[in-house]
Amino acid sequence: EVQLAQSGAEVKKSGESLKISCKSSGYSFSNYWIGWVRQMPGKGLEWMGIIYPGDSDTRYSPSFQGQITISVDKSISTAYLQWSNLKASDTAMYYCARHPSGYDRSPFDYWGQGTLVTVSS
């Protein structure tokens, strides 16, 4: 069974750094693109970026380029989303989600449960 298990809720201050995780199981992690989606409180879904664990090929939305870093650790089937300088506007729920193939032009078929990040000023 495919599962994406995300790390727990975080409360941080502006200017701090943060790395949240998404541990995959039930499939061959290296062979499927995995991405991150932001949902600000009461708002819609925003596509942030994706990564191919096999070779760490990464694609970012221009809206998030330079603000976040997406990475993986293949040895533990885990994807990461990190910030080096959090802002209050980063307060949101963050979802990881998997593409159903090695082709990045595909929808997200499995989703993590979400990680709530709260940043206070």
Q: How far apart are CA 80 and CA 86, in angstroms?
A: 15
> Whose Cβ is closer to other proteins: residue 54's or residue 114's?
114
The first and second tokens of residue 118, run together, are 């709260």
What is the Cα–Cα distance from 19 to 51, expressed in whole angstroms? Answer: 16
Nearer to other proteins, 3 or 17 (CB): 3
49 is a site residue for other proteins (CB under 8 A):
yes
Q: According to the binding rule CB under 8 A, does residue 34 interact with other proteins? A: no
Contact with other proteins (CB under 8 A) among 12, 23, 54, 59: 59
Evaluate whether 116 touches 51 at the Cβ level (below 8 Å). no
The residue (of 78 and 99) whose beta carbon lies closer to other proteins is 99
